[in-house]
Every structure is written in structure tokens, then in C-alpha cells.
Chains A and B, each alone.
Chain A
């Protein structure tokens, strides 16, 4: 266990060394939040609420969704793809640790870094510019924190899956890019899942994506009732467990037919 925690620490320190890159990141996210802020206000216009959400709730939703993304988002899928392409994965496989778990830990180190140097200060800055409603209930914050952990895990697992698929596709930069765009929409980052038409929501209920952004953001903006929160977080847990299965299976198959391209 010690080596995995060490990995979190090393990645955190590595990110810390390049922290200036992240100040511009905050600005970029704020620019995006700004675009959606004006857009949503124009969409609301005279209406006081759409799908049970007020304009203020929607602004808060957009802000927290982006700042939470700063936490769970990482490029581990690209890193895995790179290591597979360069043949480094062969060396990784003989090292005395579980490769996928190690990657998860690196992602976590990165996530903790981004949470403390990107999400939190970013949220403060955004709250100074735009009107954002912060909940006064500690329980909301607690459930938000819990669901954020699971949103990190689900996103991580999907990253691992797309990363390992490089074993079969050799060059899957396109797949990784497409995955990112699809997740932005289906996870509820761009707009809440409740804004989708009924049939689409039905389909989305059978997909893991809304556990990434929709669930924590709805909890944060208090758009969910108590039973809804419990249900949503339980669903996140179930997805984390379900996703373990395809990862393990594909990983086993991949290791068997590993082709190292050069190296």
C-alpha cells in the first residue's frame, strides 16, 4: 500500500513544480463558465425556472460542474496510450505493482493537486465574478464530497478503458478525443441531464456518464431531494463496481496478446 501512496505524493509534487500552467487553466475555465452564464441567462429570459431549476441554480450548476471537472479530469488515457505505443508498458508490466492501480493513483495525485490549486481558488474567483449560490447545509457539502470521489472513480475507469484499448487499436488518439467530447455532453457538464428529452434520459439511466458530472453538480446546487441524492450516489457506487469487470477482462486479454511496437 505504501508504494501506491508514495505514487500519489510524487505525482502531486510533479504537478506542483509546473503549477504556473494551472493559473491560465483557471482563466480558461472562467471564460467557459462566463460563456454559459450569459447563454443560460438569455435562455431563462423572463422564465423563473426551467425543469425545476432557477437561473441562479443554473449558474451555480455550470460553475461547479466546470470546477469539479478540473478535479476529476486527467489525461491518464493518453498517458497509457503513449506508454503502450512507445513500448514502455512492457517494462511497467514486470514492475512489482499493479499497473492500472498505479495509474489510478497517479490520477489521484493529479486530482488532489488540481482540487487544491485549481478547483478551489477557481471557484472563489468565479464566485466573485458571477452570482453563485453556496449551500449552507453541511450535509449537502458532505454528500457533494462523497459523490465527487465516485465521479473521479467513474471517470478514471473510463479513462483506463479507453487507454487499454490502445492495445487493440494501436493508434486511438481519435477515440480518446471523441470520448472526451461525448463525456462533456452525456455527463451533464454542458447542461443538466434533466434538460434532455424523456427518451434520452431513459437511455442515460443505463449509462455511467451522469455519475461523472450531473450527480455531484445537482447535489451541490440542491437540485436533488434527499432520496434522490441517496439513489444517485448508490448508482455511482454500482457503476464503479460494474466498470471493474470490463477493465479486468480487457486488461487480461490485452496482456495476453501484447504487441510492443518498437521500444
Chain B
């Protein structure tokens, strides 16, 4: 309960600081929209020259992209730990975090949230509605709940991979360059995994499971039954990886020695 109350207090505080510089926020949302639009236009342009990509139609690929945007937006809003090493370890800020009465990772999530990223949830939903209506998808009464569940699963997948990498900072000093690399690998999840070769497919499913952010869960709503097993695995993978990453984080924190000053 304390955590929930704290979360809303931090969120309110965040909104206040952001609304003071409204133009900055609008420009930021605008440039996010722009990059989403570019990816969208890319798909449209490609399908001007082909009707199918490895058995997926234009609107299916668009739907997958739309789905991908939602967990990615939630991840982006709460897990800004890509600069964890520089910001918290090198500068010794972790000392301060550890004096706080809540879990250290949660404290960092609170401090580093960027709620304007959540705008991507709207864009993603809009893209899914656009593609879904063209595909004449039918939704059962439980599908909205499935959506929430699968989106949460995808978000946890993203979050846990980045938390895992951030945890490496407790032991070693140089994983800064791995973070941007992960963002790029994450983009592989935007497209159906069957376009990749079997090694990459294996990695995207079991090692860096970015496929569970896009194509696998989206396949459920697209009625692609051959992928259902993977679709239903999404929350499981999300949870397993998240627990693993929290475990690694907790072990890492005990190894933290401070930067010295």
C-alpha cells in the first residue's frame, strides 16, 4: 500500500514539474510520434511492393507493430535505467538510493519515470484499431483482459532484460554500451520471428525474449493458432524473467561498494 501511495505522489510531483515546461513536453511527444510514424510509413511503403512477408499480410504486420508500441511505451515510462551505470554507480548516487526505506529498484523507477512515454499506448492502440478493423478481427468478452495480461507480460520482458543488464553494473564497470545495443535488438521484436534464421529466432524466444513483446502476443489477437502456445507463454516468460532480474538485482546490491568520494 505504501508503494502505491508513494507512486502516486511521485507521479503527481512529476506532472507538476513537466507541466511547468509544457512546450518541452509537447515537443517530446511530437518527436516520439514522428519516429512511430516513420516506422509505420516504412511498413506501408514496403507493402507497396509485396502483398505478403513470410505469410503475414500488411495489416497483420501493422497490428504487430501497434501491439509492440504498447508494452514498449509502458517500459519506456518506468524503466529508464539505460544510464544506470553512469548515473547511479559512477556518480555514487546509489548510496542515496540505499538509504531510502523502499526497494532500491522501485526507488529508481519512481525517480526516473517519464510519463509522457505513455502516449505511445494511445498510438499503439490506434494503430491496432486501424489494422484490426481492416482485418475484421472479432473480439470475445475476455479479450480485453487478455490484452492487459499480454501487454503486462511484454512489458515485464522488456523491463527484466534491462534490469538484468543494469545489474551487471554492480559487478563490472563497462556495460554502458550494452544498453543501446539492447534497444536495437529489441527492434527485432517488431517483426514476425519467422523472417529470421533459426539461431536468431531461438535467441529472440529464449535468451533475449523480445519476440514476446510483439509477434507472439499479437498472434493471439490475429487468430494465428500455430503461435498460440507462444502467445500464452508471454506472461509466464515475463514473470520468470522479471523474478530472475529482481533476484540478480538484489544479489548485485549486496555486492555494491560505492564509488568512494
From B105-113, B152-160, B195-203, B248-256, the one touching the partner chain is B195-203
Q: Sort chain B's interface into a size bin.
A: 20 to 34
Q: Is the CB of A32 within 8 A of B195?
A: no
Instruction: Say how far B168's CB is from chain A's closest CB, in angstroms.
Output: 14
Cα distance, A83 to B126, chains bound together (Å): 40
Cα distance, A197 to B54, chains bound together (Å): 23
Check B53 for interface membership: any CB of A closer than 8 A: yes
Check A50 for interface membership: any CB of B closer than 8 A: yes
Q: Is the CB of A191 within 8 A of B42?
A: yes
Q: Is the CB of A28 within 8 A of B181?
A: yes
A191, closest chain B residue (CB) = B45
Q: Is the CB of B50 within 8 A of A35?
A: no
From B23-31, B71-79, B229-237, the one touching the partner chain is B23-31
Contacts of B46 on A, CB cut-off 8 Å? Answer: 39, 43, 191, 195
With A28-B181, A174-B31 already in contact, the answer to whether A51 and B54 are too (CB < 8 A) is no
Instruction: Say how far A97's CB is from chain B's closest CB, in angstroms.
Output: 32
State which residues 168-207 of B face A: CB under 8 Å.
177-178, 180-181, 184-185, 187-188, 191, 195-197, 200
Check B96 for interface membership: any CB of A closer than 8 A: no
Instruction: Say how far B128's CB is from chain A's closest CB, in angstroms.
Output: 21
Q: Is the CB of B191 within 8 A of A39?
A: yes
What is the interface of chain B, defined by CB distance below 8 A to chain A?
23-24, 27-28, 30-31, 34-35, 38, 41-42, 45-46, 48-50, 52-54, 177-178, 180-181, 184-185, 187-188, 191, 195-197, 200
What is the interface of chain A, defined by CB distance below 8 A to chain B?
21, 24, 27-28, 31-32, 34-35, 38-39, 41-45, 47, 50-51, 171, 173-175, 177-178, 181-182, 184-185, 190-191, 195-197
Show 18 A/B contacts (Cβ-Cβ < 8 Å), sorted by A: A24-B178, A28-B184, A35-B187, A39-B191, A39-B195, A42-B54, A43-B50, A47-B50, A51-B49, A171-B23, A173-B27, A174-B27, A175-B31, A177-B35, A178-B34, A181-B38, A195-B45, A196-B45
Instruction: A182-B38, A191-B45 are known; give 16 further A-B pairs, CB within 8 A.
Output: A24-B178, A24-B180, A24-B181, A31-B184, A32-B184, A35-B187, A38-B191, A38-B197, A43-B49, A45-B54, A47-B50, A175-B31, A177-B31, A184-B38, A195-B46, A195-B49
